[in-house]
Structure 1
Amino acid sequence: MKTAIKLSLTNQIMIATILGILCGFVFQGAVSDLKIIGELFLRLIQMSVVVLIMGAVIEAVGGLEAKELGKIGIKVFLWFVGSTILAAVVGIVFGFLFQPGAGIEHTSAATEAISIGSTRLEDVLLNFIPSNIIEAMSQGNMIQVIVFSLLFGLALSLIKDEKNNHVILEWIIAFNNVILKMVTLIMKAAPIGIFCLIASVVGESGVQVLGTLIRFLLTLGSASLLFLAAWLVVTACYCKVNLWRLMKNMWRMSVVSFTTTSSAVSLPILIEDSREKLGISDRIAKLVLPLGMSLNSNGLAMFLSLSVMTFAQYYSIELGTGDLVQIVLLSTLACMGTIVVPGGGLVTLATVMPMLGLPTESIALLAGIDWFSGMFRTLLNVDPDVTVALIIAHDEKELDHDIFNGTKHVTKTAE
C-alpha cells in the first residue's frame, strides 16, 4: 500500500513561489486575472488582523503586574528603537558603497495614486493617539490600536488586581483563541494565494520588473541579509543558544514573511513558532510580537533610507552630515504605526519624500519592483521581532531551552 507524501506548509509555499515565477514568465499577461485570487487570500488574512493585534496586546498586558509591564516595556522599547536606527544607518552605508541611484534609467510611467501622510512632526506625534478607536480600527491604523490596547490592558491589569475580577481577561483569551484558529484555517490556502499573487505580478511586469532597478534590489537584498546574519549572531551569543538551531527554528516564519511580504499575515505563524519551536513563553510572545509588528520595522527603515539615497544620487544631490542624520531619524520615526500589508512601503515613502524636499513622483521608479523589495523588507521586519522576544524571554528567565533544542515538544495551543 502506497504512503501519500505530505508536504509541510513551508515547502508548499516555496514550491508555489517557484511555480508562480515560472508561470508568470511563460504565460505573461495571460495570468493577470489570477491576481484576484491572491488578493482574496490576503483579504481573508487581513480582515482579522486588527482584532488579532488588539486582543493579543490586551491579553499580554492585562495578565501582567503593572511593575512587570514597566520593566519589560523599557527593554522592548530600547531594543526596538536601537535596531531600527541601526537598520537605517546600514541602508545609508550600502547606498554609499553600491551607488544604486547612479544606474537607474528614468521611466515616464505614471505614479499610482498614493496617499501622502502628514509631513509635520507634531502631526506625526498626534497621530499616535486615536480620537476615535472605532475609526482607527476601520482605517487599520495599527499604532493607534496598539496605544488603545496598551491602556486598556493596563486598566484591565489594575482592575484584575484591585477587584480580583478575571472575567473580562478570560473572555479575551477565549476570543483570541478563536481568532487564531480562524487564521490558521485560512493559512491552509496560502500556497494557492501566493502562487496567484506572484504569477500575476511577474506576468504583468515581465523581465522589466527585475531589470529596471536590479542594482537597487541587489543593494537592498545584500544589506538586509548581512544585517540579519549579524543580528542573529548577536542574538545567539546573547541568549547562549546554537546559531544554526536558531536559524532552523526560524526557517518557517522567514519563508512565510518573505513570500507573503506582509508582517500582518506572518504574525500568527510568529506567535505559534515562538512558543512551539523557540521556547518563548506565551506571555512574552504575545506582548512583544504584536508590538514589534508596528513599532520595530527594521526592513522598512532600511528601505526608506536606501531609497532616499538612491533618489539623491539619481538627482545628483549632495548630502551633508545633517541630511544623513535627518534621513535616519525620519526613517525611524516613519516606521512606527506603518501599514503592515503589501504596498505599505510606498505609502510610507510618500510620507518621507516631501519631508526631505524630494519629488514624490520619483516613487514611480520603485513602484514596479515594490513586491520584490517588499520581500526583503518584510523578512527584516519580522525576524528581528522574534529575536527581540527571544532576548526578552532570556532576560526574564522565560526561555525554555529544551523546546528550543527540540528535546521537548510543547502541547499545541488550545483549539
Structure 2
Amino acid sequence: MKFLKHPAAQIGGAAVLGIVFGLIVGDWAGNIKFVGDLFIRLIQMSIVPLVMTSVIVATGSMTGSGMGQMAFRTFKWMIGFSVVAAIVAWLLGTAIQPGAGITFDGGVDPSLSDQAGAATGWQATILGFVSTNVFAAMSSAAMVPIIVFSLLFGVALNSYVSKTGNRAVVDLLDQVQQVVLTMIRFVMHLAPIGVFCLLAPIAGEVGIAVVTTGLKYLGATLAGVLIVTALFVLVVWLRTGINPALLPGKLTEQTLIAITTTSSAVTFPTVLKNTIEKIGVSQRVANFTLSVGLTMGSYGAVLNYMLVVMFLAQSGNVELSVGQIFMGMALAILLNMGTITVPGGFPVVAMFLATSLGLPFEAVGLLIAVDWFAGIFRTFLNVNGDTFVAMMVANANGELDKDVYNGTKLVSAEDVNVAALEAQFAKADAAD
C-alpha cells in the first residue's frame, strides 16, 4: 500500500486506467479532454515566471571558481558529451520516429502561432532572439527572447551585487522562484487526474497505437543511453589506456543505486567513494568534477530532452526546421548546464521545450506517464557519465592511479559533506 502513495505509482496507474478507459469508450473520451488541458495550462502559466527568476538568480549569484586548468578540462568534456548526447538523440528521433504513431490533426496550439510561423532567414531568426518589449514576449510566452533578457538582467545584477554587496533583488527573486515552485508542487498533486484525462482521449482517438508509441519513445531513450555510454567508454579507453573490461564491475554498485532510486543526489556519495577507491581518481579531482557534474553533467537529461522535442514535433505532424533542431539542442544543453535552471520536474521541462519551439502539447500526457521509466535511463547515464569525465580529467592532470584501478593498491575516500551540496542535489534530482 505504501507503494501506491508514491507519485510515480499514482501517475503510472492513472495512465494505464486512462488508456483502458479510452480504448473502451472510444471517441466519447474526448469529452474529458478539457480536464487534461486544464492541467497542462496550470503548468504552462508558471513557465515564464519560473524561467525568468531561475535564470536571473542563477546568473546574478555566480562567482568565479578559480580552479583554472582543471575547471577548463571538466567543462570541455561536459559540454562536448552534452553535444554528442543531443546529436545522438536527434539521429535516433529521426530514425525511430517515436512520436509518429499518434499524429494529431490539430497542429500547433493557437497561443503559439506567432512562434510557429514560416521559417525566415538566419538574420531575422537571430534578430528575433531579442524582443523590443519583454512584456510582450512574456504575454506570448516567446521563451528565447525571455531567456536572453533574463541572462542580460542577471549579468547586470551580478555586476551590481559585486560592486555594492546589496543582494536584495537577488534574494527577492529567489523567494519569488520558491513561491512559483510551490505553485507547481500544488499543481502536480493533480497529475494523476490530468494524465488520465489526457491519455483517455488519445487512446479513444488513435487506439492501441498509444501504447506502442510510448514503448518506441522509451526504446529510443534506452538506445540513446547505451550508444552514448559506449562512446564514453571508447573515449575513456583511448585517452587513458585502462582496461575497459574492468569498468562494469567497478560501476555496478552506483548503477544499481541510480536505477532503483532514479536520483543522482542519493547516488552521489557512492559515486564519489567508488570513483576514488575503485577507479583511482584523486580526491581533489573527484571532489571538483563530480560536484560540478551534479548540475552540469546530466547527459541522460540532454538526450531525453532532445527526444522530447522530436517526439512532440512528430506527434503534432510538425516538420522541424534546421533552426528549430539547433535551438532544441541548445535548449537541451543549456538546461543541462544549469544556465537555464527549470526545477519542478519533467512536466515543466516538457512544457518549456514545447513552448520555446512552438510545438503542440497534446502528447505531453503520454510522456509524463512513462517518465518514471525514462528517469531510470537518464539517471544511469547522468551518474556514470560523471565518473567517466572525472577519469579523463584526472588522467590529463596525472591524477589517475592505475594501480588502484587494476586492484593492486587500496585508497580511502574522505567523507562527503552532504550539507554543502544541498543545492546541487536539488538541481540534480530535477534533471533526473
In the superposition, the TM-score normalised over structure 1's length comes to 0.61
Against the structure 1 CA distance between its residues 340 and 355, is the aligned structure 2 distance closer, same or farther, given a 3 Å change threshold?
Answer: closer
Correspondence list, 1:337-352, <5 A:
337=338, 344-352=345-353
Correspondence list, 1:172-211, <5 A:
none
Q: Is the contact between residue 142 and residue 355 of structure 2 (CA under 8 Å) also seen in structure 1?
A: no
Q: Which residue is equivalent to 1:90?
A: 88
Listed one character per residue, the Cα deviations across residues 42-92 of structure 1 (whole Å, up to 9, x for unaligned) are: xxxxxxxxxxxxxxxxxxx6xxxx5xx111111111111111111011101
Deviation (angstroms), 1:99: 0.8
Q: Which residue is equivalent to 2:6?
A: 35
Correspondence list, 1:262-281, <5 A:
262-281=263-282
Task: Output the CA distance in 2 between the equivalents of 1:276 and 1:134.
Answer: 43
Q: Which residue is equivalent to 2:319?
A: 318
Q: Is the contact between residue 263 and residue 340 of structure 1 (CA under 8 Å) also seen in structure 2?
A: no
SS in 2 for 1:399: coil
Q: Percent identity?
A: 31
Q: Does 1:101 align with 2:99?
A: yes
Deviation (angstroms), 1:257: 1.5
Task: Output the CA distance in 2 between the equivalents of 1:117 and 1:288.
Answer: 35
Against the structure 1 CA distance between its residues 303 and 321, is the aligned structure 2 distance closer, same or farther, given a 3 Å change threshold?
Answer: same
Task: Output the CA distance in 2 between the equivalents of 1:318 and 1:274.
Answer: 43
Correspondence list, 1:164-179, <5 A:
none
Deviation (angstroms), 1:104: 3.6
Q: Does 1:122 align with 2:148?
A: yes
Aligned counterpart in structure 2 of residue 70 of structure 1, from 52, 65, 68: 68
Task: Output the CA distance in 2 between the equivalents of 1:282 and 1:399.
Answer: 10
Task: Output the CA distance in 1 between the equivalents of 2:341 and 2:262.
Answer: 12
Against the structure 1 CA distance between its residues 271 and 133, is the aligned structure 2 distance closer, same or farther, given a 3 Å change threshold?
Answer: farther
Listed one character per residue, the Cα deviations across residues 271-302 of structure 1 (whole Å, up to 9, x for unaligned) are: 11111111111111110111111112211111
Partner letter of residue 266 of structure 1? T
Against the structure 1 CA distance between its residues 268 and 340, is the aligned structure 2 distance closer, same or farther, given a 3 Å change threshold?
Answer: farther
SS in 1 for 2:305: helix
Q: Which residue is equivalent to 2:262?
A: 261
Listed one character per residue, the Cα deviations across residues 381-408 of structure 1 (whole Å, up to 9, x for unaligned) are: 1211111111010111111111111111
Correspondence list, 1:8-47, <5 A:
32-33=3-4, 35=6
Q: Does 1:251 align with 2:222?
A: no
Deviation (angstroms), 1:336: 2.5
Q: Is the contact between residue 403 and residue 410 of structure 1 (CA under 8 Å) also seen in structure 2?
A: yes
Against the structure 1 CA distance between its residues 215 and 284, is the aligned structure 2 distance closer, same or farther, given a 3 Å change threshold?
Answer: same
Against the structure 1 CA distance between its residues 90 and 36, is the aligned structure 2 distance closer, same or farther, given a 3 Å change threshold?
Answer: closer
Against the structure 1 CA distance between its residues 414 and 307, is the aligned structure 2 distance closer, same or farther, given a 3 Å change threshold?
Answer: closer
For these two proteins, the number of residue pairs brought into alignment is 288
Deviation (angstroms), 1:362: 3.5
Q: Is the contact between residue 104 and residue 213 of structure 1 (CA under 8 Å) also seen in structure 2?
A: no
Q: Is the contact between residue 210 and residue 369 of structure 1 (CA under 8 Å) also seen in structure 2?
A: no
Task: Output the CA distance in 1 between the equivalents of 2:245 and 2:342.
Answer: 29
SS in 2 for 1:213: helix
Task: Output the CA distance in 1 between the equivalents of 2:379 and 2:259.
Answer: 6
Partner letter of residue 387 of structure 2? V
Partner letter of residue 290 of structure 1? S
- State the Cα RMSD in Å: 3.6
Task: Output the CA distance in 2 between the equivalents of 1:121 and 1:329.
Answer: 12
Against the structure 1 CA distance between its residues 294 and 369, is the aligned structure 2 distance closer, same or farther, given a 3 Å change threshold?
Answer: same
Partner letter of residue 84 of structure 1? S
Task: Output the CA distance in 1 between the equivalents of 2:149 and 2:373.
Answer: 31
Q: Which residue is equivalent to 2:31?
A: none
Partner letter of residue 97 of structure 1? A
